[in-house]
Amino acid sequence: PERHFAGTPGDAAHHAAGPLDPARIRTRFPPEPNGYLHIGHAKSICLNFGLARDYGGICHLRFDDTNPEKEEQEYVDAIKEMVSWLGWDWNQGGTSHLFFASDYFDFMYRAAETLISAGHAYVDEQTPEQMRAHRGDFTTPGVNSPFRDLGVAHHLQRFREMRDGKHADGAMVLRAKIDMASPNINLRDPALYRIRRATHHNTGDQWCIYPMYTFAHPIEDALERISHSICTLEFEDQRPFYDWLLEHLAEGGLLAKPLPRQYEFGRLNLSYVVTSKRKLRQLVDEGHVDGWDDPRMPTLVGMRRRGYTPESIRTMVEGTGVTKQNAWLDYGVLDGCLRADLEGKAARAMAVLDPVKLKLSNYAEIFGSLEHREPSGAPAHPHLPELGQRQFSLGPELWIEREDFMEQPAKGYHRLYPGNKARLKAGYVVECTGCEKDAEGQITAVLAAIVPDTKSGTPGADAIKVKGVITWVGVHEGVAAEVRLYDRLFTEAQPDAGGRDFLEVLNPASLKVVTAYLEPSMAAVSADTKVQFERHGYFVADRVDHRAERPVFNKITGLRDGWGK
């Protein structure tokens, strides 16, 4: 079975993970299925699966599904899909290492009773307000609860009543009995179990009490015989409780040694976005973006739709290293990895994103008629002959970029202006003769004449030297496409820094949609195909909206080098 846990509580440790080879590294990626994965999770995935790979160990995919209210099957499925997409496999050595923390609820319950019986846990009936007030703070020690020392039999009975639904949600909690004066506030009798009548996606209505994350997580690690429990820095203060709990459960005979050890590393953040599931959900729910997979989102589904490849994400994440510092990374680094990945793979094509017509005034003279189509072409990739040849053709009217004409040329401008010559890429040299304008003075067409005998690739084509090269698409064959141009989602590098309301710094211009003309080879590409539009950058056929009869492309990122003047 794909789901790998059939443990009866007593031998759960063995059933959960199979016989343990103590020389082996065993890690886990433990997402809570309460949202979609983001770029920060990619860091954790690559770190945990990468360590297992590098040291001949095993990495588990474990759903940390102990909190019934926010967890859903939809997220479980999406998370599995993204871990696979990144290139990792929880099936290792012919065995599935897919786990659900909720499969351990029976064991966790027994663990709680074991702690109570040994005098290490008690049911506290203080109100949440009293508990908060009695916890103290960094300068003040906490105060013991009046319920703390009522005796093992009493607490065991109360805890069973909690389980049996005898008490209302929030009426009482099970707490560890450690030290209300500890300088580490996490050791001031942390909560272990709470009453919550909520239907769980896996266990349904079987339970009305649920374990707290801090109690559940170490147990999950121990049952699966994890050697290295790797988490982010903010859990550093939890490590003493992690060890306290596992030691006491081992003493109680519930867990076998060696026990897992927790290690912390810095979070990965991407600048100009937020990476907290709660905030990402807010962006989706309030309609600031078009869903979890909006190409501006730092979710993995969003980044995939934007066109980032798994290779580029892995390269970026691995390049950040593992440190004890939270890291802020710029999209520029990711874009560099994307270019490095696609440069040697993606087919080239010409696309005109801001089109204006170029009319070739002497076309009929040169080619005999306006109906003539002068064939042209170029390799799909400059270094990959196996990708073949692109075919396109010249006609009397072409689409060119509006910025490729200036009536009054700026200094150093080498493209079209009256009297200047430039080359149509894989075509002819043309000489600009002027332009047409509408009543408002807007340029509606650029005029030029073909310079005879200058066709690219023919002898003597280079006799006339020009400095400007222009991309173009024939009006007769250009494929109209919706092209989505993305900018950063926020105007500030750290949108939620200093407690700022991140919605205040949303970039109102993060998406611009244009109608572009693409060369004919682009009509047939399938969704998710990545291409380089020459001089513009890397684009992807949108995996959701792209159709042969209605192409839609997303801009992934520009080219490293700007287009020459």
State yes or no: residue 40 binds ligand ATP (CB under 6 A): yes
Helix (H, G, I), strand (E, B) or coil at 61: strand
Q: Which is nearer to ligand ATP, 273 or 518 (CB)?
A: 273
What DSSP letter does each residue of 201-257 carry, written as one string? TTTBTS-SEEE-HHHHHHHHHHHTT-SEEEEEGGGGGGHHHHHHHHHHHHHTTSSPS
Query: Closest separation between CB of residue 29 and ligand ATP, Å?
Result: 6
Q: Which is the catalytic residue, given 158, 277, 423, 543?
A: 277
What DSSP letter does each residue of 114-127 carry, written as one string? HHHHTTSEEEE-S-
Q: Alpha carbon 470 to chain centroid distance?
A: 36
Query: Closest separation between CB of residue 32 and Mg ion, Å?
Result: 5
Residue 126 contact, options ligand ATP, Mg ion, none, Cβ 5-8 Å cut-off depending on partner type: none
Residue 231 contact, options ligand ATP, Mg ion, none, Cβ 5-8 Å cut-off depending on partner type: ligand ATP
Query: Closest separation between CB of residue 284 and ligand ATP, Å?
Result: 14
In the numeric block, the tokens 């994307």 are attached to: 338
Residues from 256 through 285 that contact ligand ATP (CB under 6 A)? 267-269, 275-277
Q: Which is nearer to ligand ATP, 41 or 488 (CB)?
A: 41
Which residues lie below 8 Å from residue 348, measured CB to CB, with a gap of 6+? 378, 379, 380, 381, 382, 390, 531, 532, 533, 534
- Mask for 17-36, x = binds Mg ion (CB under 5 A): ---------------x----
Residue 267 contact, options Mg ion, ligand ATP, none, Cβ 5-8 Å cut-off depending on partner type: ligand ATP
Given a contact cutoff of 8 angstroms between Cβ atoms, the answer to whether 47 and 86 are in contact is no
> CA 249, 252, 258, 259: dihedral to nearest 10 degrees?
0
Q: Which is the catalytic residue, given 53, 267, 357, 359?
A: 267
Query: Closest separation between CB of residue 45 and ligand ATP, Å?
Result: 8
- By CB under 6 A, name the one of 44, 67, 376, 554 that touches ligand ATP: 44
Helices (H) and strands (E) in the chain, counts: 13, 29
The one segment of 38-46, 237-245, 307-315, 499-507 that binds ligand ATP by CB under 6 A: 38-46
Q: Which is the catalytic residue, given 32, 125, 161, 374?
A: 32
Burial of 282 (0-12, 13-18, 19+ CB in 10 A): middle
Residue 268 contact, options ligand ATP, Mg ion, none, Cβ 5-8 Å cut-off depending on partner type: ligand ATP
Q: Which is nearer to Mg ion, 67 or 202 (CB)?
A: 67
CA–CA separation, 258 and 250 (whole Å) = 10
Long-range contacts of 135-143 (CB under 8 A, 24+ apart): 135/180, 135/185, 135/188, 136/180, 136/181, 136/185, 136/188, 137/185, 138/183, 138/185, 141/180, 141/181, 142/180, 142/181, 142/185, 142/188, 142/189, 143/180
**Token pair belonging to 6:** 């059939």
**Token pair belonging to 219:** 């147990």
**Nearest residue (beta carbon) to Mg ion:** 32
In the numeric block, the tokens 């990495």 are attached to: 59
The one segment of 37-45, 86-94, 521-529, 553-561 that binds ligand ATP by CB under 6 A: 37-45
Task: Indicate if 32 belongs to the active site.
Answer: yes
User: What are the C-alpha distances in Å from 27 to residues 39, 45, 219, 228, 539?
Assistant: 19, 10, 14, 5, 36
Q: Which is nearer to ligand ATP, 201 or 277 (CB)?
A: 277
Q: Which is nearer to ligand ATP, 221 or 401 (CB)?
A: 221
Residues from 200 through 259 that contact ligand ATP (CB under 6 A)? 231-232
Number of residues that bind ligand ATP (CB under 6 A): 16
Q: Which is nearer to Mg ion, 33 or 468 (CB)?
A: 33
Burial of 112 (0-12, 13-18, 19+ CB in 10 A): buried
Q: Which is nearer to Mg ion, 40 or 396 (CB)?
A: 40
Q: Which is nearer to Mg ion, 197 or 278 (CB)?
A: 278
Query: Closest separation between CB of residue 196 and Mg ion, Å?
Result: 17
Query: Closest separation between CB of residue 328 and ligand ATP, Å?
Result: 10
Query: Closest separation between CB of residue 277 and Mg ion, Å?
Result: 6
Residues from 32 through 61 that contact Mg ion (CB under 5 A)? 32
Query: Closest separation between CB of residue 35 and ligand ATP, Å?
Result: 6
Which residues lie below 8 Å from residue 138, measured CB to CB, with a gap of 6+? 183, 185
CA–CA separation, 449 and 422 (whole Å) = 11
Q: 535 — phi, psi (to 5°)?
A: 70, -15
Residue 491 contact, options ligand ATP, Mg ion, none, Cβ 5-8 Å cut-off depending on partner type: none
Task: Indicate if 267 belongs to the active site.
Answer: yes
| Interacting residues with Mg ion (CB under 5 A) | 32
| Interacting residues with ligand ATP (CB under 6 A) | 30-32, 40-41, 43-44, 64, 231-232, 267-269, 275-277
The catalytic residue positions are 32, 267, 277
